[in-house]
Amino acid sequence: MPDYPQHRPVTMATHGLVCAPHYLAAQAGVDLLKAGGNALDAAIAANAVLQVVYPQSCGLGGDLFLLLYSAHDKRLHALNASGRAAGTATIERYRALGFTQMPDFGIHTVTVPGCVEGWGVASQRFGRLGLARALQPAIGYAGDGFPVGPGLAHALARMDTFAHTHRSFRENFMPGGIPQAGSIATSPHLARTLRLIAERGPDEFYRGEIARQIVDFFRREGGLITEEDLAAHTSEWVEPLAVRFGDLDVYELPPNTQGVTALQMLGIVDGLPLGDDPRDTETVHIEVEAKKLAWADRAAYLTDVKHMRVAPEKLIAPEYLAGRRALIARERVGASAAPGTFAGDTIYLCAADGEGNAVSLIQSNYRGFGSGLVVDGAGIALQNRGAYFSLDPEAANVLAPGKRTLHTLIPSFALRDGAPAVVFGTMGGDGQPQTHLHVYAALARFGANIQQAIELPRWVHGAARAGEGEVLLLEDRYPQATVEGLRRLGHHVALTAEWSGEMGHAQGIVIDTERGVLHGGADPRSEGAAIGW
């Protein structure tokens, strides 16, 4: 085992394991396993609890994607539970509203929330205890109260300073002022909404009382989403895409996610030698150059798969990856197109049980709390995922009625010889594919364990904001020789904190099928934990 720094131990278990960015969520998932549930029950329970205790990164008003390995049929299944733009969301309508580009926040960034329907279809197909049981821990925390963590307290204090923070947000999250870390908070409106979903099913969110609350809110605020938009929403079981990386077959969801971007990076690097250490100049340089090439394709092609100009499979075909790989120069930096940004707030969690089932789940409202609006009386913080669309008619991800936007959310899953091997993902917006490459390289190329791979210093390439100059951001734990070496090659290097939230919050499980042992890792950059049973 390589002697990489490791501040937390690997969590090892045989009956089940849940890794989440908040310890109460991970514990709720394990409680479902102990109650007789499976990995999917545990994942939904953890996700729902996160929406109560960690709402700065996810919520009922957001979208969801998951990969699930079923021990029953020994297959990997992929669910796209992302919502679509309103049926009247045209470029012309937005220009008539006064927009020359997509707004970042507000009612006109909201797309139909897909999370609840995703929970429902996944639970119905693969769950054991049912959705109502999986939601009980979250209902308890929302109604009875929970201790406010430092991350939530800080996020609410920041929201109080933003111009886009809506009256409805303050009334929901700050009725008595900004809560302090360690104080007890409740979410009574969210508790009621979750209880209605548990009692009446997910359909309540799209066609019932909750749907009426959502639509009434949009009417009052001048938004575009209607009863018809909610009622028409559906999730889709899709075929995941994969590339070979070392001895692993790494799987990601197809577009409208940026999973192809992660696969391109992995596929390009798989055919190249790296340095002797994941932290050295040569390794980081090759990985960053692969990122630049994948990002150029992301900007050119990726969007709702029904609107793409090229089949996503062609972007990860061996001959295409070989051509992209040949463009990398080991002795200098290459050009960069559409570098992306460092912004991103999401939750990623994973769960595995002792029967061989495992789930990789990611869920988000996009930019922190999302749009800055909360449905009055329902506690539903609405996502601003529509901000990712473009009003440029020539752009791949141009806005269109009923269209799904390009999504940063990407859970991943790796098989070895057809058996589940790695369940992994991270929050971090545009940084997510970059962290996928970083961690898979640490595991498959450098022999790190899952906790070491997550704790290793990370880099992310992009810009602080769209339109600003690109920079290679490194955590200040990289060796000075690496920093100097990258600068000599021409990289615009900047250093950030030793444990920076800009690098995302990753969680992962490595599955030892031969011994029947689950190895879990949780990111110290978050308030998370890997809890086993």
Task: Return the percentage of the chain with pLDDT > 90, whole number.
Answer: 94
Question: How many CB atoms within 10 Å of residue 125?
Answer: 13
Q: Is the pLDDT of residue 62 over 90?
A: yes
Overall average pLDDT of the 264-280 stretch: 97
Place 99 in a pLDDT band, splitting at 50, 70 and 90: very high
Half-sphere exposure in the Cβ direction for 161 (13 Å, CA): 4
Q: Is the pLDDT of residue 452 over 70?
A: yes
- The predicted pLDDT at position 3 comes to 81
As a whole number, the mean pLDDT across the chain is 96
Interatomic CA distance for residues 351 and 362, integer angstroms: 12
Q: 82-97: buried (b, 16+ CB within 10 Å) or exposed (e) per residue?
A: bbbbbeebbbeebeee
CA-CA-CA-CA torsion sign (198, 203, 205, 208)? negative
Residue type, position 147, single letter: P
- The predicted pLDDT at position 5 comes to 84
Per-residue pLDDT tens digits for 306-346: 999 999 999 999 999 999 999 999 999 988 776 666 666 78
Overall average pLDDT of the 365-379 stretch: 96
Overall average pLDDT of the 447-457 stretch: 97
Overall average pLDDT of the 48-67 stretch: 97
Half-sphere exposure in the Cβ direction for 70 (13 Å, CA): 12
Per-residue pLDDT tens digits for 179-193: 999 999 999 999 999
Q: Is the pLDDT of residue 238 over 80?
A: yes
Interatomic CA distance for residues 206 and 442, integer angstroms: 43
- The predicted pLDDT at position 282 comes to 98
Residue 21 DSSP code: S
- The predicted pLDDT at position 490 comes to 96
The third-level CATH classification (topology) of the domain covering 238-343+410-532 is Glutamine Phosphoribosylpyrophosphate, subunit 1, domain 1 (3.60.20)
Interatomic CA distance for residues 316 and 282, integer angstroms: 24
Overall average pLDDT of the 510-527 stretch: 96
Q: Is the pLDDT of residue 18 over 70?
A: yes
- The predicted pLDDT at position 340 comes to 67
Interatomic CA distance for residues 203 and 347, integer angstroms: 24
Residues ≥6 apart with Cβ < 8 Å to 177? none
Lowest-confidence range among 218-222, 284-288, 500-504? 500-504
Q: Is the pLDDT of residue 1 over 60?
A: no
CA-CA-CA-CA torsion sign (99, 101, 104, 107)? positive
- The predicted pLDDT at position 370 comes to 96
* Token representation of residue 275: 């340095």
Q: Which residues pair with 244 in a beta bridge?
A: 249
Per-residue pLDDT tens digits for 137-195: 999 999 999 999 999 999 999 999 999 999 999 999 999 999 999 999 999 999 999 99
Q: CA 115, 119, 122, 123: dihedral to nearest 10 degrees?
A: 180
Interatomic CA distance for residues 25 and 52, integer angstroms: 9
Interatomic CA distance for residues 352 and 125, integer angstroms: 17
**Cα angle 486, 489, 493; round to 5:** 40
Active site amino acids: 346
Length of the chain: 533
Interatomic CA distance for residues 157 and 32, integer angstroms: 33
Residues ≥6 apart with Cβ < 8 Å to 378? 189, 190, 192, 193, 210, 213, 214, 217
Task: Return the percentage of the chain with pLDDT > 70, whole number.
Answer: 98
Q: Quick one: angle between helices 318-325 and 259-270, nearest 10?
A: 70
* Token representation of residue 138: 């979250």
Query: For the chain, which residues make up each domain, given as ranges?
Result: 18-234+356-388, 238-343+410-532
Contact predicate 389/102, CB 8 Å: yes
pTM: 0.96
Contact predicate 243/254, CB 8 Å: no
3-state secondary structure 124-144: HHHCCCCHHHHHHHHHHHHHH
